[in-house]
Amino acid sequence: MYTNFEKYDIILIILQKLKGLITIPELPEVENVKRSLENKVIGKTIVGCSVINEKLIKKPTVQEFAKDITGLKITYLYRRGKYLVFTMDFSYELVVHLGMTGLLIHVNNINEIPQKYSKHLHVLIQLDGNTLLCYCDIRKFGSLRLLRQINPYEAIAKMGPEPWEIGVRKSFKTRLSAKKWTNKTIKEAIMNQEVIAGVGNIYASEALYASRIDPNRLVNKITDVERELILTNIQDILQKSIDLGGTSISDYLNGEGKKGQFQNYLKIYGKKKCECGADLKTVEIKGRNTFYCQNCQK
C-alpha cells in the first residue's frame, strides 16, 4: 500500500505499528508536518471551509469557524510544542493539535486521501489554486481553534520552553523546581507541557533511559547535574528523531515503503529487553505506560 503514497502529498505518517503500541505525533512528527506543509500553504488564501465533524472545532462555534476562516490568507506557519499554528491575515491564528491520530494532508482532490483516513475526514479547507487542506483524525483527539492573535491560546501561552531556545536550560530548571513538582515523578514532570514543550510518553521514556534515571524517582531527588543531563538527552533525542522523521516522510513520498528510521533507535519504549539483557519493567505513571530498566536506571 505504501506505493500509493507516491502520488500523495503525505504530510504526516502515524500509526507505525510497534508491538501493539503506536507512535503518536509528538514534537518531531509535528515539526515534520510543519516543514512539509509550509511551502504548500503559505501565501494561499482560504476560499472555503466545510466542517464534516463538528467535534473537532473547539473555538469559536462551528458556524463562526467556517465563516471567519474563509477569505483569510495564510502568512506563516510555525510549530509550538505539539501544536501547529497557521498565522493569517487580520490577526487570526489557526491552532491545530493532531491529538493521537491526526492527519493534515494537502491534496488536489479528496479522492487522494489515503483510504484509512478518508472515512475520518472532519474538516476540509479549500485554498486558492484549487487545492485542499484536509484534517482527518481516526480517534478524534485532535483539535482546531481559530483565534485572534490578541487572545493567545492559554495552553501555548503557559507552555514551557522549546528544547533548543535560548535560555532553555535555565527555564527548564526553574520550572522543574516549582513547588508543584517536588513530590511528583520526574517522568510526569517532563511530560507536562509547562515544564518543557513537545515531550510525550515515548520521548520521556527514552530520555530518562539515556540519562540512566529511574522514571519513578521524585523530582526533588534529582540532582542539578541530572537535570542538565535529562535536558541534554531530550534535545539530542528529539533532534535525532526530527532528522529521521524527515527521512521517513521522504521515503514514503518516494514510494520506497520505508517506515522511517526513528523506531530503529528506540531503546526502551515498547521493548521487552534492555540492551544489558535484563527484562524491562513497565509501570503506570500518570495513567501512561512507562518502560524502564531496573538494572540501568537508578
Active site residues per annotation: 25-26, 82, 288
According to DSSP, residue 222 is labeled S
Q: At what angle do helices 224-253 and 201-210 cross, to 10 degrees?
A: 130
Part in contact with DNA (CB under 7 A); list of ranges 21-29, 42-50, 61-69, 122-130: 21-29
CB of 25 to DNA, least distance (A): 8
Interaction of residue 289 with DNA, rule CB under 7 A: yes
Size of the site for DNA (CB under 7 A): 31
Interaction of residue 18 with DNA, rule CB under 7 A: no
Nearer CB in complex with DNA: 23/36: 23
What values do phi and psi take at 72, rounded to 5?
Answer: -85, 145
Interaction of residue 255 with DNA, rule CB under 7 A: no
Q: Which region holds residue 130: left if phi is over 0, alpha if psi is between -120 and 50, else beta?
A: left
What stretches of the chain show up as alpha helix (H) in DSSP?
27-41, 62-69, 115-118, 154-157, 168-176, 186-191, 201-210, 224-253
Q: Residue 295 corresponds to which cell in the numbers above? A: 538494572
Nearer CB in complex with DNA: 47/156: 156
CB of 265 to DNA, least distance (A): 18
Interaction of residue 114 with DNA, rule CB under 7 A: no
Interaction of residue 287 with DNA, rule CB under 7 A: yes
What values do phi and psi take at 279, rounded to 5?
Answer: -70, 135
Interaction of residue 140 with DNA, rule CB under 7 A: yes
Which of these, 90, 74, 85, lies nearest to 33 by C-alpha position? 85
Nearer CB in complex with DNA: 101/248: 101
The total of other beta-carbon atoms located within 10 Å of residue 250's CB is 14
Interaction of residue 155 with DNA, rule CB under 7 A: yes
CB of 272 to DNA, least distance (A): 12
Nearer CB in complex with DNA: 119/298: 119
CA 108, 111, 113, 119 torsion-angle sign: positive
CB-based contacts of 140: which residues, under 8 Å, 6+ apart?
53, 55, 56, 99, 120, 122
Q: Which amino acid is at 1?
A: M
Q: Strand pairing partners for 80? A: 83
CB of 139 to DNA, least distance (A): 4
- Cell numbers 513537545 correspond to 198
Residues 202-221 close enough to bind DNA by CB under 7 A: 202
CB of 20 to DNA, least distance (A): 5
Interaction of residue 185 with DNA, rule CB under 7 A: no
Interaction of residue 60 with DNA, rule CB under 7 A: no
Q: Residue 272 corresponds to which cell in the numbers above? A: 521487552
Interaction of residue 273 with DNA, rule CB under 7 A: no
Residues 81-100 close enough to bind DNA by CB under 7 A: 81-83, 97, 99-100
Interaction of residue 245 with DNA, rule CB under 7 A: no
Nearer CB in complex with DNA: 115/130: 115
Contact assessment for residue 76 and residue 44, using Cβ atoms and an 8 Å cutoff: no
Contact assessment for residue 168 and residue 231, using Cβ atoms and an 8 Å cutoff: yes
Interaction of residue 21 with DNA, rule CB under 7 A: yes
Which residues contact DNA by CB under 7 A? 17, 20-21, 24, 26, 55, 58, 81-83, 97, 99-100, 119-120, 138-141, 143, 155, 180, 184, 191, 193, 200-202, 287-289
